């Protein structure tokens, strides 16, 4: 008879545990997606700097903003033999649950030897 009482007392425990854990799992999933977004934006910022350095080394306009994330800024310096491109971008935190997170500033530098015609 004690086993019958025990089974009735445990009834619904799995549902309650799931209801407690589900918001945490959703928050962790959103956090991981945001980290994936930051990683992708970092790769795009590196590509933008590299693209701008190569273009400037050839003597073309250094424009890597189409490659980088939205709002990418590129600064190019030329010392005569090398061209250094610095790309900066900012990734905003996701809204909703993670609206309190600060934005992430990304910076990438690329150097290219100047081509002589």
Domains of the chain: total: 1
Averaged confidence pLDDT in the chain: 84
Average pLDDT over residues 34-56: 92
Does the pTM surpass 0.85? The reply is: no
Residue predicted with more confidence, 91 or 108? 108
In terms of residue numbers, what domain contains 70? Answer: 2-113
User: In this model, does residue 7 exceed pLDDT 60?
Assistant: no
Spatial distance between the Cα atoms of 42 and 51, rounded to a whole number of angstroms: 14
Instruction: Please list, in sequence order, all residues whose beta carbon lies within 8 angstroms of the beta carbon of residue 103, skipping any fewer than 6 positions away.
Output: 90, 91, 92, 93
By CB atoms closer than 10 A (0-12, 13-18, 19+), residue 6 is exposed
Backbone angles phi, psi at 110, to 5 degrees: -140, 145
């Amino acid at each position: 008879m004690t086993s019958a009482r025990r089974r009735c007392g445990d009834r619904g425990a799995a549902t309650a545990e799931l209801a407690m854990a589900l918001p945490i799992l959703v928050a962790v999933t959103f956090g991981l997606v945001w980290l994936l977004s930051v990683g992708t934006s970092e790769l795009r910022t590196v590509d933008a700097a590299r693209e701008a350095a190569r273009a400037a080394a050839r003597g073309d306009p250094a424009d890597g903003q189409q490659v980088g994330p939205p709002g990418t800024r590129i600064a190019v310096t030329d010392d005569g033999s090398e061209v250094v491109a610095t790309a900066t971008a900012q990734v905003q935190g996701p809204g909703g649950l993670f609206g309190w997170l600060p934005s992430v500033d990304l910076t990438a530098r690329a150097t290219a030897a100047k081509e002589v015609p």
